[in-house]
Amino acid sequence: RPILDMSYSRHFLDFQGSSIPSSMKKLVVTKLSQNFREAVTLRQDSPVPLPGDGDLLVRNRFVGINASDINYSAGRYDASVKPPFDIGFEGVGDVVALGLSASADYTVGQAVAYVKAGSFAEYTVVPAKQAVPLPSVKPEFLTLMVSGTTAYISLKELGELSEGKKVLVTAAAGGTGQFAVQLAKKAKCHVIGTCSSDEKGGFLKSIGCDRTINYKTENVESVLRKDYPEGVDVVYESVGGKMFDLALNSLATKGRLIVIGFIAGYQNTTGLQPIKAELLPAKLLKKSASIRGFFLNHYLSEYKMALKNLLKMYERGDLVCEVDFGDVSPEGKFTGLESVFRAVDYMYMGKNIGKIVVELPHSVNSKL
């Protein structure tokens, strides 16, 4: 196999024989704001980065949209980081160049996925030890990198799932909700999913959801009180605000509420939507219930194991990895970095079924 040390060359050919340019497009946070369009600028002529000794240069083919992209552009994760900085958390693409040490494990032309800030770019340098080798470049693999592992690790570590438990998943048809539903079903739980349309409800039933609640046409609280008078054992909660309050009130004795996000508030200046927290101690005590927060970065020791198991499940056909390219959005499919702005809007309008993915086309023949 070719061992290519690209760390010192300015121009080179990628594995399909086309010239790698010296400049590229990428998205950069130029102003801190929870308004993604205000915060982020599309730069047309950024230099293509060069891989160091242990690095891969990945030509991104698909990038994932996450609710937390807005938290990142608002500077909520690390107050010490000042603009300009790169954005985008995950990508799938081809290795087009690599450093000498990296060539011990990787080759030019290899498909890889990664989680690293700076994926909203045509090319990203990824440390070889952070990359995940893939059998091919497929957008379905992207769904597992953040969304799938979040659901897997949080339910495994905090959910204490067992046969017959009742599990409520909010935003169940979203990028991470789809995995919470399927993993809870695999644990032989009874799964209830909230969603915003009958189309989403149909998708949820197709992946095993026992009871769907369309919160636009049904009163979630009434349905839960009527159909689950004893309450639910586990809530996988990513919405926040009123949905959080409702989920908390619906917990069974010894119930567990896992907070993986609160998307309803991310577009506010504080990033939060008010909750009725003053009654919280009494409510938890009355039911011996608990609330656990989950942030993927704190569970990186579990990450490789989780991803390996998810990849195996997908390759066996045991896991649906639904991808939403925005085909039904007003301006059509999300293609090219300029469409990331539309894709973020689409997510916050609650239109997506599955994980929102943007395709970055490339002029040479693709291997798909």
pLDDT digits (tens, 9 = 90+) for 186-236: 999 999 999 999 999 999 999 999 999 999 999 999 999 999 999 999 999
Calpha distance 251→248 (Å, rounded): 6
pTM for the complete prediction? Answer: 0.94
Calpha distance 76→202 (Å, rounded): 35
The predicted structure's pLDDT at residue 229: 98
Question: Cβ distance 93 to 126 under 8 Å?
Answer: no
CATH number, domain 8-137+322-359: 3.90.180.10
What are the pLDDT digits (tens) for 4-51?
555 444 445 566 666 789 999 999 999 999 999 999 999 999 999 999
Classified as helix, coil or strand, 205 is helix
Query: CATH for 145-298, among 3.60.15.10, 3.30.70.20, 3.40.50.720, 3.90.550.10?
Result: 3.40.50.720
Smallest CA-to-CA distance from 12 within 94, 96, 95 is with 96
Classified as helix, coil or strand, 162 is coil
Task: Report residues of the chain scoring pLDDT below 50.
Answer: 1-3, 7-11, 365-368
Are 8-137+322-359 and 145-298 in the same CATH fold? no
The predicted structure's pLDDT at residue 1: 42
Strands 355-359 and 323-324, sheet pairing: parallel
Cα-Cα-Cα-Cα dihedral of 162, 166, 167, 172, to 10°?
130
Amino acid 8 reads: Y
The predicted structure's pLDDT at residue 7: 46
Q: What angle do CA 299, 305, 311 make, to 5 degrees?
A: 120
Q: Which residue has the tokens 């308004």?
A: 35
**Backbone φ, ψ for residue 291 (5° rounding):** -120, 130
For the record, the structure tokens of 28 come out as 């950069």
Smallest CA-to-CA distance from 41 within 32, 51, 54 is with 32
Q: Where are the alpha helices (DSSP H) in 125-197?
A: 139-143, 149-154, 177-186
The predicted structure's pLDDT at residue 3: 46
Question: Cβ distance 39 to 145 under 8 Å?
Answer: no
Q: What angle do CA 173, 179, 184 make, to 5 degrees?
A: 110
Question: How far is CA 284 from its chain centroid?
Answer: 30
Task: Write down the domain spans for the chain.
Answer: 8-137+322-359, 145-298
Q: Angle at which helices 220-227 and 242-249 pack, to 10 degrees? A: 10
